[in-house]
Amino acid sequence: MATQSKPPVLVLDNDETLGSWGDLSLLYSIYTTVLLRKPSPSHFAEIVRVTRCVRPHLRNLFQEALEMKKKGKLSSIVLLTAASNASGWVTFCSQVLASWFGEPIFDLVISSKDLVEWNMANGHFHAHHLHKDLYLVLTRLDFPLTTPTIVIDDRVEWLINHTKALSVSPYKVAVNLIELCRHYVEGWSREMEETHAAALGDTWTTFLTNPRAFTDAGRDRDLEIQLKTLRLLVA
């Protein structure tokens, strides 16, 4: 393992931190299990643009974080998520974000399988929640365990061995997936819609009956606020 002192690592949670991905992960499953093909990241990036799934101010966060890295104020940018990558969703989502932003962002992507294996080996296993041990990130990067880590997450209570945690509220928006499929999914049919209507319409139906359970995207400033904190931390 490297021993030379390094600038901080910026570690970003994904779902409900960088965006609201529940509906789009379901759409990804429709592609892979019903249409039997994997969508392109650029196609999903276009879908991201017509929804509010990406959290406000994310583009500014990515842009400034990459600039901080170029200037040596950050050593790496990592995506650390408790979501499963068994279907390839986590990898695909990181590619969608790169396509949406215009260039790759993450030096490393870690998902639930990595966390489970690390936690079991290091005595952090919990039956209902995944601890996010930042020593896993530093080990994968081959950085000293003394390297500072700055984490932006909506569930900071499950972080361990981190330097600084920047908390955001859970970001959750609803997408009218049935309408989206009609306009953006090539090969979509009435039969498919009838078969999968209940699952596809679940979040949207909940939103129509209880909109307060979702984020008002037009007023969300959490990433803007934590970007200001990040600037101070690496100044």
- What is the helix (H) or strand (E) element at residue 126, kind and residue range? none
Reported confidence tier of residue 141, pLDDT bands at 50, 70, 90 = very high
Position 51 scores a pLDDT of 93
Burial of residue 90 (number of CB atoms within 10 Å: 0-12, 13-18, 19+): buried
CA-based nearest residue to 196, from 22, 35, 21: 35
Q: Which domains does the chain have, with CATH numbers?
A: 9-234 (3.40.50)
Two structure tokens written together for 68: 């901080």
Which residues neighbour 77 within 8 Å (Cβ) at sequence distance 6 or greater?
A: 9, 10, 12, 65, 66, 69, 105, 106, 107
Per-chain mean pLDDT for the chain: 95
Instruction: Tell me how far apart the alpha carbons of residues 143 and 43 are, in angstroms, rounded to a whole number.
Output: 36
> How much is the CA Rg of the chain, to the nearest whole Å?
18
Q: What percent of the chain has pLDDT over 90?
A: 94
**Is pLDDT of 105 > 90?**
yes
pLDDT of 188 reads 93
- Looking at residue 213, the DSSP 8-state letter turns out to be G
pTM for the whole thing? 0.94
pLDDT surpassing 80 at residue 125: no
The confidence band for 126, taking pLDDT boundaries of 50, 70 and 90, is confident
Confidence of residue 128 (pLDDT cuts 50, 70, 90): confident
Arithmetic mean of pLDDT, 182-189 = 93
Name residues whose C-beta falls within 8 Å of residue 94's C-beta, 6 or more positions apart in sequence.
Answer: 79, 105, 106, 109
Closest CA to 147 of 7, 12, 11: 7
For range 17-34, the mean pLDDT: 96
54 phi and psi, to 5 degrees?
-75, 135
The set of residues, in sequence order, having a beta carbon less than 8 Å from that of 198 and lying 6+ positions away, is none
Query: What pLDDT score was predicted for residue 3?
Result: 54
Among 194, 148, 146, 164, CA closest to 7: 148
Q: What is the pLDDT of residue 5?
A: 76
pLDDT (tens digit, 9 = 90+) per residue, 142-154? 999 999 999 999 9
Rounded to whole angstroms, what are the CA distances from 174 to 162, 186, 211, 216, 228? 32, 22, 9, 11, 28
Q: What is the pLDDT of residue 2?
A: 54
188 DSSP assignment: -
- Report the relative pairing of strands 76-80 and 9-12 from DSSP bridges: parallel
**pLDDT above 70: residue 172:** yes
What mean pLDDT do residues 101-112 have?
Answer: 97
Q: What is the pLDDT of residue 129?
A: 81
| pLDDT tens-digit readout, 2-11 | 556 799 999 9
Q: Quick check: 134 and 161 in contact, CB under 8 A?
A: yes
What's the rounded mean pLDDT across residues 205-227? 97
Gap between the terminal Cα atoms of the chain: 27
